[in-house]
Structure 1
Amino acid sequence: MNEDAVREAITRGYADLEVIESSGNFFFQVRSGQEAGPDRWLPFATLVTNDLYDQASRLDRPSVFRLNVGVSPETYRSLFGAVPRGNGASVIDTGHDYTALDRLMPHPLYAPMAWVCVLNPSEATFQALQPLLNEAYTRATRREATRAERRDR
């Protein structure tokens, strides 16, 4: 799949979705009803197309992009074992090759927050990611509902 197909599949697959584009990267979040400035971005998934945020995946290669998904710590543990602790380094050493294509792995920076990623997922890998995307979306929907309740008080 190319990045347009991934972006379209996510956009088509979830209701109440807000897609924010910034510097060629895409942030998928549940629509909050609030102005979507950078301080309000709480995405459940992102599609990163360049090395602005980190160089671990070498997204400067032609047509390489990274799909990132925020899962629960329990799901992360079921996939990769213990959630790593942040060590102050820019890249978390999980033993994975962050430049490998079409392979689910911990996120190079946000693994301590239970984020996972895949570079250039194939159709089969993207389909296998659906339960993770669904979980991330459900968690974001619940989080946004809680935030809305607090705002309405």
Structure 2
Amino acid sequence: MKPDEIIGYVDGLDGVLTVRPGPGDDSPELAWGDTFFFYAPDGVMPANTQPFATIVTKNYPGDEESRLDRPDTFRVNVNAGKDNFREWTGHEHREEPAEDVDHSVTDTLFAHPVYGSVGWLAVVNPGPRTEAPTRELLRTAYELAKARYQRRAG
């Protein structure tokens, strides 16, 4: 899977706001080139809400384990919920994952190297083994974000 394919898939879900920071939009330069997905049916960036998924194309300070500084390397990060986190990692949501995982391996789902402790999953360069699960996890993350939005809206 390529980033544009993933963006097209998620952006095609009803009510998704896809944010792609870049020069001139008041976003931090560090975020330029990355993609953030929110459930926002009104098309307005939600306040005090985390994205339900992201695509990052570079290392962030304190988040270098995936070695995203390699050519054509990106990571999909997904807040896919407690059940999926447990299914894919064998750990409880919010438990510090005690994994001995190489977070730079491609086409392998794992607990996010920084946000795994709060239930995020990640995959570097999804490929044949992880394409279908990545799509399913993105769909689940979307549904969970939609349900949170609806609960907050009353």
Where does 1:23-34 land on structure 2 (aligned, <5 Å)?
23-31=32-40, 33=42
Q: Which runs of 5+ in 2 are unaligned?
A: 22-31
Summarize deviations over 1:91-131 as a string: whole Å, max 9, x none: x6521110001111110011111110111111552222222
What is residue 105 of structure 1 aligned with on the other side? 110
Where does 1:130-141 land on structure 2 (aligned, <5 Å)?
130-141=135-146
The 8 Å contact of residues 32 and 144 in structure 1, kept in 2 or not, is answered as no
Give aligned pairs, total.
142
DSSP-derived class of the 2:19 partner = strand
- Counterpart of 2:70 (choices 61, 64, 79) is 61
- Matches of 2:44 and 2:52 in 1, distance apart? 17
What is residue 45 of structure 1 aligned with on the other side? 53
TM-score between the two structures when normalised by the length of structure 1: 0.82
Q: CA RMSD in A?
A: 2.1
DSSP-derived class of the 1:133 partner = helix
TM-score between the two structures when normalised by the length of structure 2: 0.81
Displacement of 1:21 in angstroms is 1.6
Q: Which runs of 5+ in 1 are unaligned?
A: 87-91
Identical-pair percentage:
30
Q: Structure 2 counterpart of 1:10, which letter?
A: V
**1 or 2 for the larger relative contact order (CA 8 Å, sep ≥6)?**
1
